[in-house]
Structure 1
Amino acid sequence: MSSRRKFIQNTMLLGAGMSMPQFMTAADFGAFTRKIKPSDQLNYGLIGCKGMGWSNMNAHLKMPQVNCVALADVDQSVLDQRTEDVFKLRGKRPKQYTDYRLMLEDPDIDIVIIGTPDHWHCLNMIDAVSAGKNVYVEKPIANTIEECQLMVKAQERYGKIVQVGQWQRSGSQYAEAIDYVKSGKLGQIRLVKCWAYQGWMKPVPVIPNGPAPAGVDYKMWLGPAPKRPFNPNRFHFNFRWFWDYAGGLMTDWGVHEIDIALFAMGVTVPKSVMASGGKFAYPDDASETPDTLQTVYEYEGFNMLWEHATGIDGGNYGTTEGIAFIGNNATLVVNRGGWKVIPETETVDSKKVKKVAEVPHTKGVGNALDLHAINFVEAVTANDPKILNCAIQTGSIAAINAQMGNIAYKTGEKVYWNAEKNKFTSSAANDLMKAHYHNGWKLPKV
């Protein structure tokens, strides 16, 4: 076995917590990692440090060869908090940046994690790969179809390793479910349902505009988005519910579930999409994206239904989120809790019998987010993008399909996709494919 392959395998064991002590002080960690050669260490910079950016960084820091050497954020309070978080874990404080572009000039940084709002992902990722960095970018990869396609083009030009944070791809229950779907045991699959019912989401209260908090570079936070006065509703987590920056639950949760559905079914783009929904649950709250939505995608030989709802948990098959593959012989249901197969029955000799064997609820093994980080490090270490569980090409498929759902909703039309021409047959839908940058920022050229 080559030393490189052995190192990768040891990495996976360590990342899974199988040989590293469970609790260590920063000093203990330093002693533990001194055995790792400098050439095998990976220096990370994090852009966007608050929510999923930090969750992703934290998952990578569970691997001893990973060092967090730089943080970039527009909020000084977040920078200070995460600096101390890294110090508690590793005993060293990373360098702080309020402009990510200065961070990318550091030649010692090997990898960049992008955890900024969606409207920033395209610029961040393309700037990073053009600076020679490998990238782990949070999902959805971008806020428009044009940006998604440009990001794929950039990866292919610069040849860097780019993983998308659709970490369900690294969950064992999803891998097992996908294998079962592809086995053909479900019979002809007529419909795939994907859903997210988010009971924890309450109305976003309407509050007045005001000054940005001290230490926040709000102009930099807006970046290419339209110029608007600061409002706390649009800042940090809640940016997801405003069209300038994101696509609501259709893209936030949709990419996770749609990704699994399309991969299992072996398709990439629909023939048509139609959507209906609105702000039915909380019509007077501050958010812009629909709190209730049903989107129907037509693929060759089957339909896919996406649906979401905020403020309630009563999703399909008794689960708040998931994917269901509905076949002639059985229905397979998979979500973050596990997977199961519900057989159909038929009458044989006057008795009802199951068409296929029931598969009882089977939980996943391990932490899928941690395993996704391990998979990325393995690909970077081997310099082999084929190892990735969710490369940028894969992430773009889910993001583009989710964006198509929002485009159908916004136009109020049943929109038809012409794959050969890479556009819709509707001019209104085609206009919504495009990115419009503001405040002096320009769409990158690749």
Structure 2
Amino acid sequence: MMNRQKFIKTSTLLAASALFFKRTKVLADSKKIRIGVIGVNGMGWSNLTAILKNTNVVCTALCDVDENVLNSRVSELEKRDINVKTYIDYKQLLADNNVDAVIIGTPDHWHCLMMVDAVTAGKHVYVEKPIGNSIKECELMVAAAQKYNAIVQVGQWQRSQQHFEDAMKFLHAGSLGKVRMVKVWAYLGWKKDVPIVPDSAIPAGVHYDRWLGPATKRPFNANRFHFNFRWFWDYAGGLMTDWGVHMLDFALIGMKVSDPRSIMAAGGKFAYPDDVEETPDTLTTLYEFDGFNVQWEHAIGIDGGPYNKGHGVAFIGNNGTLVLNRQGWEVLPEGDRMAAVPFQKSKDNGLERHMDNFVEAILTRNKSILKAPVEAGAHIAILSQMGNIAYRTGKKLYWDKDKRQFSDKEANKYLAANYHNGYSYPKV
């Protein structure tokens, strides 16, 4: 027999699921999925451009706290005979019955609140990576998606590229022999320093308080706004979470592992020690697993990464090394222990395929087919956050996967981002 506690929990989940599909019933009656985008300056716009190539989609709404960006995007859509409603307040977009699904392309510190609000409002969600800006946020986002039975795709679009799947199949066939080291990296030679500039007046059309949201209250500074937000702890986690979630994801997929035993990190501002950025421009992070290590490294201002590639992941086995990145993959043999595999070039558009996958999941109401479901996005974001926490504490950290915390009290202070300005963590 089902006990009372289990009955109540089951009934609650069923009711939440029924509410979600009641709110999304309008989708079944419409011919196309109606998309709203929150944050349209960078990846939000790239995501919209990609998804609009799918004939099952139409854009009906845009939201951005910078009216200059918002008006520019509206003009671009009008040239394509696409007319949309516009919003400054994302909650008003979520209340729009003419929106079935949303793309969240805002700075990282907004992802959690917006995604939870979106699924609560009965919307499907495509959220940019990293899915959350702290470990606690990631866990809350998973809980919210599961509670409302929502379809949530995370913007780790390499998971939809065919050559990444092909490389994983080759790796799992075992030809490399025992893999005892995995190297993962991102070198950004094009990235220059961000010189110090004084605080200034808020530009006309910018709703700065709405941009800050739960982040620490600070005067407006152009260097912290738009693209450069990712180099400040208030809003993001630097390259560790910006690129790390992409490449480290395949380290875990390739090795079929989950949680590391320990994490160490060392680095600093070695390229541009006097610029305004807070996150390290040079970093090495070591994740210890049973029988092998995963090493992450990033460097700003340098192009010459391992294997002469600016980014990638390398599985180093006894018989050879598989090197994989967005452009393709190859196998470099260890002497004559195996045959080389020449470079297998990518032949598809990963972002467009990722969007097609999201659309198919919505149309079929089958979240099991998602290439980057919320659980996967949260897991790799958490792993990347672990690397940053190891760097910020300067300690070798041990992760308790059952308690969902570190054994070190100082490290546990970084599990949750601090919310300010009257904002609080959503209740799920």
When the two structures are superposed, what TM-score results if normalisation uses the length of structure 1?
0.89
1:255 to 245, 253, 258: 245
2:346 to 346, 364, 384: 364
Equivalences for residues 200-215 of structure 1 within 5 A: 200-215=190-205
The Cα of 1:436 is off from its aligned counterpart by 1.2
Confirm whether residue 39 of structure 1 aligns to residue 48 of structure 2.
no
Question: Match for residue 281 of structure 1?
Answer: 271
Distance (Å, rounded) in 1 between the aligned partners of 2:78 and 2:346: 32
SS at match of 2:30: helix
Deviation digits for residues 53-72 of structure 1 (CA, Å, limit 9, x no counterpart): 00001100111221110011
Confirm whether residue 88 of structure 1 aligns to residue 79 of structure 2.
yes
Equivalences for residues 147-296 of structure 1 within 5 A: 147-296=137-286
Distance (Å, rounded) in 1 between the aligned partners of 2:419 and 2:90: 18
Confirm whether residue 102 of structure 1 aligns to residue 84 of structure 2.
no
Confirm whether residue 445 of structure 1 aligns to residue 427 of structure 2.
yes
Confirm whether residue 69 of structure 1 aligns to residue 51 of structure 2.
no
Native 8 Å contact 1:435 1:443 kept in 2: no
Distance (Å, rounded) in 2 between the aligned partners of 1:308 and 1:52: 21
Unaligned runs of 5+ in 2: 1-27
Confirm whether residue 49 of structure 1 aligns to residue 40 of structure 2.
yes
Distance (Å, rounded) in 2 between the aligned partners of 1:333 and 1:442: 43
In structure 2, give the amino acid aligned to 1:252: D
Native 8 Å contact 1:45 1:109 kept in 2: yes
Deviation digits for residues 327-372 of structure 1 (CA, Å, limit 9, x no counterpart): 1111000001100001112xxxxxxxx2122110011121111110
Deviation digits for residues 57-88 of structure 1 (CA, Å, limit 9, x no counterpart): 11001112211100110000111011112222
Runs of 4 or more consecutive aligned structure 1 residues displaced over 4 Å after TM superposition:
none
In structure 1, give the amino acid aligned to 2:33: L
Question: Match for residue 389 of structure 2?
Answer: 407
Distance (Å, rounded) in 2 between the aligned partners of 1:256 and 1:88: 34
SS at match of 2:41: coil
The Cα of 1:171 is off from its aligned counterpart by 1.1
The Cα of 1:267 is off from its aligned counterpart by 1.1
In structure 1, give the amino acid aligned to 2:30: S
SS at match of 2:371: coil
Unaligned runs of 5+ in 1: 1-36, 346-353
The Cα of 1:180 is off from its aligned counterpart by 1.2
In structure 2, give the amino acid aligned to 1:46: V
Distance (Å, rounded) in 2 between the aligned partners of 1:358 and 1:38: 53
The Cα of 1:185 is off from its aligned counterpart by 1.1
Confirm whether residue 387 of structure 1 aligns to residue 369 of structure 2.
yes
Deviation digits for residues 162-206 of structure 1 (CA, Å, limit 9, x no counterpart): 000000111111111111111111111101100000000001010
Give the % identical residues.
57
The Cα of 1:108 is off from its aligned counterpart by 2.3
Confirm whether residue 315 of structure 1 aligns to residue 297 of structure 2.
no
In structure 1, give the amino acid aligned to 2:321: T
Deviation digits for residues 369-406 of structure 1 (CA, Å, limit 9, x no counterpart): 11100111111111111110000101111100000000
In structure 1, give the amino acid aligned to 2:278: E
The Cα of 1:38 is off from its aligned counterpart by 6.6
Question: Match for residue 27 of structure 1?
Answer: none
Question: Match for residue 429 of structure 1?
Answer: 411
Distance (Å, rounded) in 1 between the aligned partners of 2:345 and 2:77: 32
Distance (Å, rounded) in 1 between the aligned partners of 2:93 and 2:300: 38
SS at match of 2:110: helix
Equivalenced residues, count: 401
Confirm whether residue 343 of structure 1 aligns to residue 325 of structure 2.
no
1:124 to 114, 118, 122: 114
The Cα of 1:155 is off from its aligned counterpart by 0.4
Native 8 Å contact 1:340 1:361 kept in 2: yes
Equivalences for residues 136-155 of structure 1 within 5 A: 136-155=126-145
In structure 2, give the amino acid aligned to 1:411: T
The Cα of 1:435 is off from its aligned counterpart by 2.2
Distance (Å, rounded) in 2 between the aligned partners of 1:282 and 1:203: 6
Distance (Å, rounded) in 2 between the aligned partners of 1:325 and 1:378: 32
The Cα of 1:40 is off from its aligned counterpart by 3.1
When the two structures are superposed, what TM-score results if normalisation uses the length of structure 2?
0.93
In structure 2, give the amino acid aligned to 1:414: K
SS at match of 1:40: coil
Confirm whether residue 417 of structure 1 aligns to residue 399 of structure 2.
yes
Confirm whether residue 299 of structure 1 aligns to residue 314 of structure 2.
no
Distance (Å, rounded) in 1 between the aligned partners of 2:399 and 2:134: 15
Question: Match for residue 8 of structure 2?
Answer: none
Cα distance change on mapping 1:256 and 1:442 into 2, 3 Å: same
Native 8 Å contact 1:84 1:93 kept in 2: no
The Cα of 1:106 is off from its aligned counterpart by 1.1
Distance (Å, rounded) in 1 between the aligned partners of 2:76 and 2:164: 32
Distance (Å, rounded) in 1 between the aligned partners of 2:235 and 2:210: 13
Native 8 Å contact 1:272 1:416 kept in 2: yes
Q: CA RMSD in A?
A: 1.0
In structure 1, give the amino acid aligned to 2:76: D
